[in-house]
Amino acid sequence: MPADHDRSREQAPDRRARCPACGASGRRVGEITLRSLVREARRDELGSLSEFAFCGAMGCELAYFAADGRTVRKSDVKVRIGVKEASSPRPLCYCFDYSAEDLEAEAGAGSGAIVQEITARCREGLDRCAETNPRGACCLGDVRRFAGVSGRSTLAAACCAEPKPGN
């Protein structure tokens, strides 16, 4: 779903990276994401962390891949990657600790309270998506998809696409 877009780091279409394991297209992630989420032993083996993309495909064993053939498996990542899992627990929001299960539990009420809370906290600048979310970007696109909230995720783009000081 082209629900969101990366304004500053968009690659030319012919450079769109594809996961060597499953063929899904992946988006580049910043070094800061791999530095904080890849297990230390694997991180040391990799050397440079600057050329990796994230594979968010369900069931695929790879979390990150680079054009030169280096890969990072799910098991080399410190956190469980909810969007890649079919079974519980499936964490989606790593900054404020919400899972797909939380959203499913809320769905009956139809309040959208979790989406609202995450949005509000992001607006306050409390999110650290690049360091906590394996996707390396705001979770709101994923959260909205699981919550069944319609509409474009412009909030996700607005709250977390801006580079933060110190990155």
Query: Which residues contact Zn ion (rule: CB under 5 A)?
Result: 19, 21-22, 24, 55, 57, 60, 62
Which runs of E-coded beta strand occur in 19-159?
Answer: 25-28, 52-54, 62-66, 71-73, 91-93, 98-99
Q: Least distance in Å: CB of 18 to Zn ion? A: 9
Closest CA to 131 of 96, 91, 82, 95: 95
Q: What contacts 81, CB < 8 A, 6 or more positions away?
A: 56, 63, 74, 91, 134
Q: Which is closer to Zn ion, CB of 60 or CB of 118?
A: 60
Q: Which is closer to Zn ion, CB of 62 or CB of 137?
A: 62
Structure tokens at 103: 């959203």
Q: Which is closer to Zn ion, CB of 90 or CB of 157?
A: 90
Q: Least distance in Å: CB of 28 to Zn ion? A: 15
Q: Least distance in Å: CB of 23 to Zn ion? A: 7
